[in-house]
C-alpha cells in the first residue's frame, strides 16, 4: 500500500457535491444538466462557498473546473477542513464506494498504530539505524488483503489452543508457541525464537516446544540482545541485517546469528506489561521483511497478547472457584464430623493429598512441653490406616530435626524439588521403609499466631510442587488450623462433659434423701389439727427440724385434697429439698419452711381466690425459693465474679434456685407433678419460675408500681392474667419477708440471725478490698435500728399495704409490720439520743 501522500498526488477524486454540473461551462443553478455524484445536502465550509459569487468570470475558482477535479485543483488544508465540518459526506462516500477489504485494512492500520502508544513508560524509544539510515515505524502500510486468510486462520488456531491448554501449567507458553509458528507462516519467515519474561528475576527465558529452557536466560536491563532490548523498550524492531548492528553483541541471543533480516516484537497484555518477546528471522531466501509483514505480525501479537491475558484471567478465576468449592467441601466434611482428633487428622491428610496431587501425606502436632513433634497417623498412602493400627503407633522426634522440624521451628514454608540434595532431609526414614522420597512440600499450621502442627506432602505425582501448589496449600492450612483447634476444643469439652456427668451423678446421690431418712419420716406422727398454724402470728420456728417435713406433707394434703399425690414421691421431694438447703445463718431450710407456711396461711385465708394450679405453684415456689443459697447477695456474686454470675447475668441466685428445683423434680421418684397433664405441667413450672424470680427485690419495685397503679384506679380484676401474675409476685415478696410481720420477740430473733449473714458477707468484702454497705458492715451494728426502720418504710410497709388493698384478708401482716416499725423507731430514737449525749460528753472532754 503506497503512502497517503503519493496517493493524494495521483488519485482522481470524485466530484464534490454541489448544484450544477462541475465544469467550466456551468451556469450554476439554472442549468438543466444539473448532476451530482451523490445526492447529499448542500455543505458549506466556513469561509468557502461551493458556488463562488464570481462564477461567470474566466478566473479559475476553487470549485469550478472543466472536467473532474484533481489534486492539483484542490488545496489540502481546505479539503481537510471541509471533511472536518462535513463528516456526513465522508460517511456517505465510504459506505457507497469503499469495499469491506479496504475498511478492514484501515482498521488494522488504526489498531496497530494505537498499539505502539500503549506503554507504561511513555518514553522516547531509541532510533535504530538500518544500514546507516534512522528508522521509524512508517505510516506506509502494504495492502493487507493477501494476509487476511492467514490472520483469520491464526486467530482461530490460537483461540483453539488457548481454550484447550490454558488450564495446563504451561498453557501460556504452549499458546504463544502456537502463535509464533503461525506468525512464521504468515510473514514467510524461516524461523523464530520465543521468549517469556520472568517478572521475579527481570529476565527473559527461551521457550522451546512450549517449555522453558532455563539455560537460555538473560537480564532485560543488560540489553545485549535484540530480544532484551525489545522487552526493555516495549517497541517493535525490524532490522535488515543483524550481523552489522554492533549494539547487540549477542544478536538474537541464540545460535541464529547468521540471520540477516529480523522482526522482534513485544507480546503485551492490555495493561502494557510484557508477557514475552517474539523474534522472526530470515536468512536470505525471502529477502528483507517488509513493513506490511511487520504490521501483520504486530497485529497478531497485539490480538494474541490480549487473548492470552484474558484467557489466563478466566483460567485463574476457574481455579479459584474450584479451590473455593474444594475448601467448602473440606470445611463441611471436617466440621460436620468432629468426633475425635484422629478423625480430623485423617480427613485433613486425605484432602491435602487431593489438593496438591501428592503420593503421601503426614501431619505432625507440636508438643510444646516436651519440644517434640509427634504423629499418631503417619505416611498415608493409597491405603488408610485403621483406628486399631493408629492407636498402637506414635512417632516422636525433636522439634529441630528433619524437614518438618525445621518448618515447625522457623515457620518457613519449604518446597524441596530434590529431597536427597537437601541437608535437612532425614534419609533414615527411607532406609527403614524402602520408600524413595523425591519432592517435599512442608508447611506450618498456625492458630492465633502459634504453630500447632506441620503438614508434609511427599512426591507430587506429576512433577514437582509448584508455586500454585504452595498458594493453594497455604490457604488450605488456615482451615487445617481451625479444624485442629476446634477438634482440640471438642475433646476438652467432651472430657469436661464426662467429668461433669460423673460429678452430677455423685452429687445427685449425696443430695438425695436416703432410704433411712424416708423410713424415719414415715415413722413420725402427724399433728392432729392444723388450725393452730393457720394464723399470721404463728411462729413456724417453734417446730423442730425433724417435724417440719411432716407439716409440709400435711399442708400439701390440706391445700390440694382434690389432687392426687404419690405420698412416696412427695416425701422424697420434701426430704431432698431440705437436704439441698445449705447450713447458712438465715437462708436455710428453716427460712424456706417459714415462707411456705406464710403462703399456706395466705391461701387458706383468701377464700379460694387462687386456682388450684396457682396454689400448687405458689406453695412449691416458697418451699424451693432459696435452694442452695450460699448466704450471699446477688450483688456480691457479681462483684466477686462467681461462676453463677457468669451463667445468669440478672437475678443470679433466683435463677439458680429455680434450676435446682427442676433438677430435684427430675430425680427418679421425685416428680410430684407426674399426675398433671402436659399443659398443666408446663403451666405450673412456668408459674414456679415466675414466683421464684419475683423474690429478687430488684424486681419488686417495678412489679409493685405497676400493680399499685392498677389497684389505685380500682381496675384490678381476677379475670385478667397479667393482674394475677403481678399479684403472685407481690405475694411471694410478702411471704419472703414474713419475719417482719411476726410478734416482736420473733421479729427480733430473726433480725439478729439475718444480720449475722449480712455481716459475714461484709467481712468477706473487706477481705477482698471492697467497702460493704452499712447494713453489711459489722462495725456499724449500732445503726441496726435505723437500718431496720428504713427497710420497713422503704420495702415492707409498701408491700403489705398494697397486698391488704388487693387481698383484705392479709391485713394482719400489715398490722404486724406497723407494730414492729414502732418498736424499731423507739430503738432508733434512743440510739440517736445516746449518740447525741456521747457526742456532747466527748466535746466537753476536749474543751476541758
Give the cell for residue 13. Answer: 477524486
Contact residues for 1 (Cβ-Cβ < 8 A; gap 6+) = 105, 140, 141, 142, 143, 144, 292
Q: Is 587 considered catalytic here? A: yes
DSSP secondary structure code for residue 424 in this structure: T
| Selected catalytic residue, list 173, 406, 587, 656 | 587
Q: How far is residue 263's CA from residue 241's CA, in Å, rounded to a whole number? A: 11
Long-range CB pairs of 202-206 (<8 Å, 24+ gap) are 204/228, 204/231, 204/253, 204/276, 204/277, 206/253, 206/254
Give the cell for residue 19. Answer: 448544484
Is 139 annotated to bind a ligand? Reply is no
Contact 418, 465 (CB under 8 A): no
Contact residues for 90 (Cβ-Cβ < 8 A; gap 6+) = 83
Q: How far is residue 298's CA from residue 278's CA, in Å, rounded to a whole number? A: 10
Over 346-390, what HEC string results? HHHHHHHHHHHCEEEEEEEEEECCCCEEEECCCCECCCCCCHHHH
Q: Angle at Cα 329 formed by Cα 326 and Cα 334, nearest 5°?
A: 125
Q: Looking only at Cα atoms, what is the longest distance across the chain?
A: 153
DSSP states along 720-764: -HHHHHHHHHHHHHHHHTGGGGS-HHHHHHHHHHHHHHHHHHHHH
Give the cell for residue 46. Answer: 466556513
Contact 493, 390 (CB under 8 A): no
CB atoms within 10 A of CB 831: 15
Contact 469, 459 (CB under 8 A): no
HSE-CB at 367 with a 13 A cutoff on CA atoms is 13
Q: How far is residue 222's CA from residue 224's CA, in Å, rounded to a whole number? A: 6
Beta bridge partners of 414: 442
Is 515 annotated to bind a ligand? Reply is no
- Residue among 443, 447, 455 nearest 481 (CA): 447
Computed on alpha carbons and rounded to an integer, the radius of gyration of the chain in Å comes to 51
- Residue among 635, 656, 660 nearest 647 (CA): 656
DSSP secondary structure code for residue 166 in this structure: T
Give the cell for residue 847. Answer: 474543751
Is 591 annotated to bind a ligand? Reply is yes
Q: How far is residue 43's CA from residue 812's CA, in Å, rounded to a whole number? A: 116
Is 65 annotated to bind a ligand? Reply is no
Instruction: Collapse the DSSP code of 57 into the 3-class scheme (helix H, G, I; strand E, B; otherwise coil) and give the result.
Output: coil
Q: How far is residue 314's CA from residue 368's CA, in Å, rounded to a whole number? A: 45
Q: How far is residue 568's CA from residue 436's CA, in Å, rounded to a whole number? A: 75
- Annotated binding residues for Zn(2+), written as ranges, equal 591, 625-626, 736
Q: Tell me the catalytic residues.
A: 587
- Annotated binding residues, written as ranges, equal 591, 625-626, 736
Amino acid at each position: 500500500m503506497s503512502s497517503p501522500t503519493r496517493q493524494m498526488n495521483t488519485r482522481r477524486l470524485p466530484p464534490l457535491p454541489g448544484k450544477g454540473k462541475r465544469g467550466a461551462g456551468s451556469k450554476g443553478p439554472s442549468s438543466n444538466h444539473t448532476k451530482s455524484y451523490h445526492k447529499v445536502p448542500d455543505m458549506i465550509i466556513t469561509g468557502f462557498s461551493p458556488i463562488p459569487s464570481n462564477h461567470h468570470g474566466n478566473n479559475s475558482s476553487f470549485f469550478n473546473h472543466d472536467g473532474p477535479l484533481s489534486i492539483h485543483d484542490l488545496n489540502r488544508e481546505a479539503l481537510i477542513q471541509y471533511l472536518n465540518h462535513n463528516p456526513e459526506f465522508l460517511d456517505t462516500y465510504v459506505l457507497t464506494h469503499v469495499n469491506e477489504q479496504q475498511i478492514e485494512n484501515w482498521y488494522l492500520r488504526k489498531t496497530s498504530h494505537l498499539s505502539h502508544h500503549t506503554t507504561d513508560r511513555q518514553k522516547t524509544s531509541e532510533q535504530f539505524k538500518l544500514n546507516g539510515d534512522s528508522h521509524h515505524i512508517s505510516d506506509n502500510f502494504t495492502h493487507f488483503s493477501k494476509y487476511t486468510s492467514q490472520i483469520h486462520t491464526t486467530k482461530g488456531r490460537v483461540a483453539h489452543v488457548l481454550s484447550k491448554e490454558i488450564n495446563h501449567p504451561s498453557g501460556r507458553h504452549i499458546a504463544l508457541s502456537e502463535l509464533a509458528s503461525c506468525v512464521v507462516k504468515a510473514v514467510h519467515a524461516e524461523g523464530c525464537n520465543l521468549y517469556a519474561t520472568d517478572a521475579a528475576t527481570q529476565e527473559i527465558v527461551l521457550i522451546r516446544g512450549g517449555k522453558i529452557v532455563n539455560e537460555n536466560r538473560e537480564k532485560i536491563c543488560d540489553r545485549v540482545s535484540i530480544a532484551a532490548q525489545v522487552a526493555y523498550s516495549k517497541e517493535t524492531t525490524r532490522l535488515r541485517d543483524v550481523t552489522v548492528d554492533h549494539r547487540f553483541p549477542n544478536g538474537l541471543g541464540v545460535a541464529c546469528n547468521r540471520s540477516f533480516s529480523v522482526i522482534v516484537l513485544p507480546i503485551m497484555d492490555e495493561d502494557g506489561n510484557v508477557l514475552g518477546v517474539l523474534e522472526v528471522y530470515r536468512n536470505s531466501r525471502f529477502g528483507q521483511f517488509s513493513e506490511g509483514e511487520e504490521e501483520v505480525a504486530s497485529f497478531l501479537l497485539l490480538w494474541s497478547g490480549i487473548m492470552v491475558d484474558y484467557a489466563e484471567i478466566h483460567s485463574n478465576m476457574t481455579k479459584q472457584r474450584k479451590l473455593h468449592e474444594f475448601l467448602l467441601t473440606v470445611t463441611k466434611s471436617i466440621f460436620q464430623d468432629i468426633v475425635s482428633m484422629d478423625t480430623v487428622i485423617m480427613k485433613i491428610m486425605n484432602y491435602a493429598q487431593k489438593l496438591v496431587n501428592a503420593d503421601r501425606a503426614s501431619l505432625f502436632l507440636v508438643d510444646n512441653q516436651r519440644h517434640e513433634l509427634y504423629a499418631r497417623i503417619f505416611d498415608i498412602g493409597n491405603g488408610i490406616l485403621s483406628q486399631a493400627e493408629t492407636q498402637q503407633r506414635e512417632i516422636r522426634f525433636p522439634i529441630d530435626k528433619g524437614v518438618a522440624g525445621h518448618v515447625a521451628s522457623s515457620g518457613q514454608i519449604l518446597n524441596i524439588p530434590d529431597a536427597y540434595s537437601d541437608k535437612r532431609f532425614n534419609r533414615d526414614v527411607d532406609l527403614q521403609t524402602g520408600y524413595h522420597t523425591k519432592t517435599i512440600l512442608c508447611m506450618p499450621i498456625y492458630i492465633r499466631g502459634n504453630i500447632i502442627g506441620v503438614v508434609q506432602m511427599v512426591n507430587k505425582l506429576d512433577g514437582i510442587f509448584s508455586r500454585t501448589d504452595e498458594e493453594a496449600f497455604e490457604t488450605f492450612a488456615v482451615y487445617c488450623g481451625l479444624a485442629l483447634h476446634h477438634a482440640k476444643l471438642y475433646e476438652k469439652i467432651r472430657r469436661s462433659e464426662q467429668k461433669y456427668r460423673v460429678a452430677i451423678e455423685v452429687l445427685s446421690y449425696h443430695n438425695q434423701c436416703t432410704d433411712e431418712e424416708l423410713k424415719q419420716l414415715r415413722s413420725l406422727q402427724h399433728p392432729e389439727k392444723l388450725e393452730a398454724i393457720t394464723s399470721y402470728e404463728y411462729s413456724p420456728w417453734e417446730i423442730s427440724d425433724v417435724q417440719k417435713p411432716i407439716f409440709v406433707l400435711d399442708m400439701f394434703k390440706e391445700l390440694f385434697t382434690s389432687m392426687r399425690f404419690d405420698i412416696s414421691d412427695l416425701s422424697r421431694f420434701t426430704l431432698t429439698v431440705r437436704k439441698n438447703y445449705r447450713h447458712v445463718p438465715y437462708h436455710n431450710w428453716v427460712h424456706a419452711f417459714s415462707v411456705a407456711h406464710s403462703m399456706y396461711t395466705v391461701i387458706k385465708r383468701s377464700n379460694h381466690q387462687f386456682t388450684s394450679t396457682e396454689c400448687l405453684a405458689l406453695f412449691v415456689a416458697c418451699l424451693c425459693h432459696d435452694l442452695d443459697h450460699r448466704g450471699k447477695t446477688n450483688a456480691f456474686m457479681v462483684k466477686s465474679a462467681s461462676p453463677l454470675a457468669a451463667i445468669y447475668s440478672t437475678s443470679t441466685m433466683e435463677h439458680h434456685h429455680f434450676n435446682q428445683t427442676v433438677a430435684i423434680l427430675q430425680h427418679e421418684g421425685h416428680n410430684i407433678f407426674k399426675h398433671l397433664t402436659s399443659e398443666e405441667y408446663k403451666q405450673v413450672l412456668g408459674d414456679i419460675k415466675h414466683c421464684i424470680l419475683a423474690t429478687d427485690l430488684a424486681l419488686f419495685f417495678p412489679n409493685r408500681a405497676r400493680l399499685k397503679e392498677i389497684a389505685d384506679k380500682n381496675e384490678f380484676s381476677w379475670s385478667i392474667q397479667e393482674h394475677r401474675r403481678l399479684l403472685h409476685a407481690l405475694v411471694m415478696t410478702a411471704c419472703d419477708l414474713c419475719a417482719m410481720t411476726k410478734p416482736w420477740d420473733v421479729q427480733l430473733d430473726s433480725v439478729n440471725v439475718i444480720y449475722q449473714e449480712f455481716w459475714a458477707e461484709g467481712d468477706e468484702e473487706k477481705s477482698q478490698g471492697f467497702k460493704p454497705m452499712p447494713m453489711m458492715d459489722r462495725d456499724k451494728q449500732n445503726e441496726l435500728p435505723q437500718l431496720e426502720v428504713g427497710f420497713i418504710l422503704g420495702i415492707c410497709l409498701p408491700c403489705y399495704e398494697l397486698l391488704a388493698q388487693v387481698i383484705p384478708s392479709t391485713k394482719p401482716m400489715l398490722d404486724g409490720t406497723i407494730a414492729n416499725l414502732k418498736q424499731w423507731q423507739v430503738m432508733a430514737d434512743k440510739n440517736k439520743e445516746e449518740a447525741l449525749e456521747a457526742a456532747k460528753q466527748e466535746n466537753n472532754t476536749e474543751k476541758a
